[in-house]
């Protein structure tokens, strides 16, 4: 069982499959079968995407020009490389069969919305993972940003104001203040790592405890005294709740989706097109070699944690806006979700390996599974078990890829 085809014909074939899905979707749309819900629309979108990507690959060939070979080995490789994605597709199909209402544009948009802030955090934490570190303070920094920003963004007539006499500030002032404070704590992380060559695990653990303590102290200030912060200004809440293009029966696109998309593009650019990004990969690939090559290890380390904390800050602000409130418990445990998403997305804990596309996939895998399991009413306890199995399986498969086969 072995056949070889040209790479360009392979892409053409995939584009053809995309076109077929597209056409089938259009056909089903006009057949208007009630029980399929929005499946035709989703098929059209999927078809356009697959066709577009592969048409582009045909038009602009990349570095890889080797022919594609189909045999037992390459198929096995494909299956291991995409095992988690394949498992997810299977799961989605099962959910769709059990509960066809899952096939709605609304569901897809919900999943994307829920992924937005998680993606921003994961993109921050990936920098610390690339240098073979981690960041345990991510969740607490998210919480800090949420508390600080909401505390200064309450409506004038709200009874229980955090700062009773605070004037109406321009929207960006508290937001930028919150993000800057987060970056300051990021700088503390970076300083501990760069100056004392502390392992990021312990440096960020220390910072996370400090941040939580400081956030709780702030939260406990009179007159608030540790009550959940509410009465958030509508212009702030709009930042997380606005729905764009809300016409007719279309549920609208949450503003969080374009925000996350812009940040993703920026981070992709930073990682791939800047000196800093290349230095991050170099540092993770081989720290000693980076020193010998004259990479500014100190500055790179410091900036990694500042940048990451900035992203957590943004995620915290958005989270507060979305929920129109905050407590000091916000963001708790987010760092572990983000690390898990990164790892499932192919980020190596040994450092040096990470792609933005992988991280996006990792985040989506988790959201889709959580959302899907909720949708078919699987108990939250089982959801935890399943999530854990996914993490272990994903990493086991990933390690298998790099392990030498003797």
Partner 1 sequence: MGEYVLEMNDIVKRFPGVIALNHANLKVRPGTVHALMGENGAGKSTLMKCLFGLYHPDEGEIIFDGKSINDIPNTKAALAMGISMIHQELHPIRYRSVMENVWIGRFPTRFGFVDHDKMYKDTVELFKKIGLNVDPRAIAKNVPPSQLQLVEIARAVSYNAKIIIMDEPTSSLTENEVEYLFKIIAQLKSEGRSIIYISHKMEEILRISDDVTVMRDGKYVGTWLAKDIDQDFIIKNMVGRDLTNRFPIKDQEPSSEVVLEVKNFTAAAKRSFVDVNFQLHKGEILGIGGLVGAQRTELVEAIFGLRALASGQLYKNGRQIEVKSVRDAKKNGIALLTEERRQNGIFGILSILDNTVIAAQQSFAHMGILDNAKREPAASQSCQELKVKMPNLATPIKNLSGGNQQKVLIARWLLTNSDIIIFDEPTRGIDVGAKYEIYTLMLDQVKQGKSIIMISSEMPELMGMSDRIMVMCEGHVTGFVDKENFDQVEIMRLASSFKK
Dmax of the chain from CA atoms? 77
Does residue 265 touch partner 1 according to CB under 8 A?
no
Report how many residues bind partner 1 under the rule CB under 8 A.
Answer: 25
Does residue 406 touch partner 1 according to CB under 8 A?
yes
Does residue 16 touch partner 1 according to CB under 8 A?
no
Distances (CA, A) of 73 to 69, 77, 78, 395, 404: 9, 6, 9, 21, 15
Does residue 289 touch partner 1 according to CB under 8 A?
yes
Selected from 218, 268, 276, 375, the binder of partner 1 by CB under 8 A is: 276
Does residue 399 touch partner 1 according to CB under 8 A?
no
Does residue 296 touch partner 1 according to CB under 8 A?
yes
- The residue range among 106-114, 254-262, 284-292, 314-322 that interacts with partner 1, by the rule CB under 8 A, is 284-292
Does residue 291 touch partner 1 according to CB under 8 A?
yes
Which lies closer to partner 1 via its Cβ, residue 199 or residue 278? 278
- For the chain, first and last CA: distance in Å? 24
User: What does the alpha-carbon distance between residue 23 and residue 48 come to, in Å, rounded to a whole number?
Assistant: 10
Taking the complex as a whole, the smallest distance from the CB of residue 191 to partner 1 amounts, in Å, to: 19
Distances (CA, A) of 317 to 52, 107, 150, 305, 308: 35, 24, 8, 18, 14
The sign of the torsion formed by the CA atoms of 246, 252, 255, 260 equals negative
Selected from 43, 84, 290, 326, the binder of partner 1 by CB under 8 A is: 290
Does residue 157 touch partner 1 according to CB under 8 A?
no
Q: Which of residues 25-64 bind partner 1 (CB under 8 A)?
A: 63
Does residue 273 touch partner 1 according to CB under 8 A?
yes
Does residue 286 touch partner 1 according to CB under 8 A?
yes
In 13-152, at which residue ranges do the beta strands (DSSP E only) sit? 68-71
Which lies closer to partner 1 via its Cβ, residue 77 or residue 156? 77
User: What does the alpha-carbon distance between residue 22 and residue 385 come to, in Å, rounded to a whole number?
Assistant: 36
* Residues paired with 326 in a beta bridge: 229
- The residue range among 183-191, 293-301, 313-321, 388-396 that interacts with partner 1, by the rule CB under 8 A, is 293-301
At 54, list the tokens: 């592969």
Does residue 274 touch partner 1 according to CB under 8 A?
yes
Site string for partner 1, 346-365 (x = CB under 8 A): ------xx------------
List phi, psi (to 5°) of 315.
-60, -40
At 272, list the tokens: 């791939």
Counting beta carbons within 10 angstroms of the beta carbon of residue 312, is it exposed (0 to 12), middle (13 to 18) or buried (19 or more)? buried
User: What does the alpha-carbon distance between residue 297 and residue 109 come to, in Å, rounded to a whole number?
Assistant: 41
Does residue 271 touch partner 1 according to CB under 8 A?
no
Where do contacts with partner 1 occur on this chain (CB under 8 A)?
63, 73, 273-276, 278-279, 281-282, 285-286, 288-296, 352-353, 405-406
């Amino acid at each position: 069982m072995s056949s070889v085809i040209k790479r360009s014909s392979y892409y053409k074939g995939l584009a053809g499959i995309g076109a077929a899905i597209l056409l089938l979707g259009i056909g089903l749309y006009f057949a208007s079968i009630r029980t399929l819900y929005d499946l035709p629309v989703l098929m059209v979108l999927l078809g356009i995407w697959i066709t577009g990507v592969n048409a582009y690959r045909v038009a602009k060939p990349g570095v890889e020009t080797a022919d594609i070979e189909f045999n037992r080995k390459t198929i096995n490789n494909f299956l291991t490389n995409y095992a988690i994605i394949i498992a997810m597709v299977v799961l989605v199909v099962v959910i769709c069969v059990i509960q066809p209402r899952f096939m709605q544009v609304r569901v897809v948009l919900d999943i994307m919305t829920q992924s937005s802030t998680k993606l921003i955090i994961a993109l921050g934490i990936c920098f610390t993972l690339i240098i073979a570190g981690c960041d345990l303070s991510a969740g607490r920094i998210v919480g800090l940003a949420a508390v600080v920003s909401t505390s200064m963004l309450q409506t004038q007539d709200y009874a229980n104001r955090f700062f009773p006499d605070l004037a109406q500030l321009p929207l960006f002032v508290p937001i930028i203040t919150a993000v800057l404070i987060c970056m300051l704590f990021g700088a503390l992380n970076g300083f501990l790592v760069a100056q004392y060559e502390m392992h990021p695990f312990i440096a960020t653990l220390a910072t996370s405890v400090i941040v939580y303590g400081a956030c709780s102290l702030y939260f406990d200030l009179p007159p608030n005294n540790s009550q959940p912060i509410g009465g958030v200004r509508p212009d702030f809440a709009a930042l997380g709740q606005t729905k764009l293009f809300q016409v007719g029966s279309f549920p609208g696109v949450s503003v969080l989706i374009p925000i996350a998309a812009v940040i993703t593009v920026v981070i992709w650019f930073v990682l791939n097109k800047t000196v800093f990004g290349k230095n991050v990969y170099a540092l993770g690939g081989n720290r000693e070699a980076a020193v010998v090559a004259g990479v500014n290890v100190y500055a790179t380390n410091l900036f990694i944690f500042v940048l990451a904390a900035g992203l957590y800050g943004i995620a915290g602000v958005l989270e507060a806006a979305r929920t129109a409130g905050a407590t000091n418990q916000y963001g708790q445990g987010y760092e572990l979700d983000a690390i898990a998403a990164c790892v499932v997305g192919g980020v190596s804990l040994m450092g040096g390996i990470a792609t933005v596309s992988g991280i996006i996939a990792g985040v989506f895998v988790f959201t889709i599974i959580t959302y899907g399991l909720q949708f078919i009413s699987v108990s939250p306890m089982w959801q935890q078990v399943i999530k854990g199995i996914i993490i272990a399986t994903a990493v086991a498969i990933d390690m298998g890829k790099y392990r030498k086969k003797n």
